[in-house]
Structure 1
Amino acid sequence: MKPLKRPSTTLAGIQVRTINRNGQALQDLSDLWRTFYENQVQQQITHRLNDDIWVVYHDYVSDHRDEYTAFIGCPVAGPSFIPAGLDALTVADGLFLPRAVQGHMPQALMAEWEHIWQNDAQLNRTYHQDYEIHPPAPAEDLACWIYLSVHA
């Protein structure tokens, strides 16, 4: 697929700082998802634009081998719609390379990220903000989309 111009989007949700070493990111992201569901974060976002769940990877120190912040949340109309106790994040507009993730989750998603990291040099990534969009009811042939921020 070719890179697409994507608009900016404001999100409400929760986040954690992590790193892809010694299983730390896997543990932190599992804990973040568990917190998202146990604390019913999606239901707290009463003014969400839709029921898609976004996972944003941002604030990279350098690339996927160093620290970054992972955010899970839902799109809202703007910063004034962020519920108390939740974090706000604006995904900047920009050029993103879309990647369809197919198969059983979370294995298919993890396999796609491994493929991305192995082919990192060819993808021309900016490491500004990358994100996943998980539909409320994933289809059998499409689990989610990954959008990688790339250079023009």
Structure 2
Amino acid sequence: MTVNAKTLTETIACQGLSVRTTNQAELNPSTAKMGKLWLTFYQTIFSKLPAGSAAYGIYHNYESDANDVFDVTVSCQQDMSVDSDGHLNLKVVTIPEGKYLVFSEQGMMPTAVITAWQEVWSYFNSPECEHTRLYDIDFEHYISQFQVDVYIGIE
């Protein structure tokens, strides 16, 4: 696991499928929504994109913090041609410029993603944490089938 500070100097416009959920709901298979959302995204959108396309998991519209409700949008960049027949209800989300801490993890998915998020929670719950989390927009950038970078917005 590597953690680096990074400043995004350009926005990233994405489009994808969204749900509103909580971390608590995602721990229970009967109330979890994200797994099904990712499956639908891969079957209906990502599988039709050109090879090498990036996927993003965007966490936004936080009601307060990681303990409350938020939206998750699984997406690709907006300039990708998807949903030509209009049957999908795509949401457009723009990842803003700004400062982020990037937690990079390699390995099999979804284990690598889970490990990265465990590191995020551990880092921000530590008394030695040097940064303040914004709870504006955080996102996962899937670099390859074996690497994910989790970007956490900071002050």
Q: TM-score range by the shorter chain?
A: 0.7 to 0.9
TM-score, with structure 1 as normaliser: 0.80
Corresponding residue of 1:31: 36
Partner deviation per Cα, 1:99-131 (whole Å, 9 max, x = no partner): 111222211211221221122142411010000
Structure 2 residue corresponding to 1:138, chosen from 138, 142, 145? 145
Q: Give the counterpart letter for 1:110 in structure 2.
A: I
Corresponding residue of 2:135: 127
**Take 1:24 and 1:10, find their aligned partners in 2: how far apart are those partners?**
31
**Take 2:73 and 2:141, find their aligned partners in 1: how far apart are those partners?**
12
8 Å contact 2:56–2:140 — kept in the other structure? yes
Count of matched residue positions in the alignment of Structure 1 and Structure 2: 141
TM-score, with structure 2 as normaliser: 0.78
Q: Is 1:55 aligned with 2:92?
A: no
Structure 2 residue corresponding to 1:17, chosen from 7, 20, 28? 20
Distance verdict in 2 for CA 1:90–1:5, change over 3 Å: closer
Q: Give the counterpart letter for 1:145 in structure 2.
A: D
Task: Report % sequence identity.
Answer: 23
Quote how far apart the aligned CAs of 1:43 are.
5.3
Corresponding residue of 2:77: 75
Runs of 4+ with >6 A deviation: none
Corresponding residue of 1:110: 114
Structure 2 regions of 5+ residues with no counterpart? none
8 Å contact 1:8–1:90 — kept in the other structure? yes
What RMSD in Å do the two structures reach over aligned CA positions? Answer: 2.5
8 Å contact 1:131–1:148 — kept in the other structure? yes
**Take 2:65 and 2:106, find their aligned partners in 1: how far apart are those partners?**
25
Corresponding residue of 1:100: 104
8 Å contact 2:62–2:71 — kept in the other structure? yes
Secondary structure at the residue paired with 1:2? strand
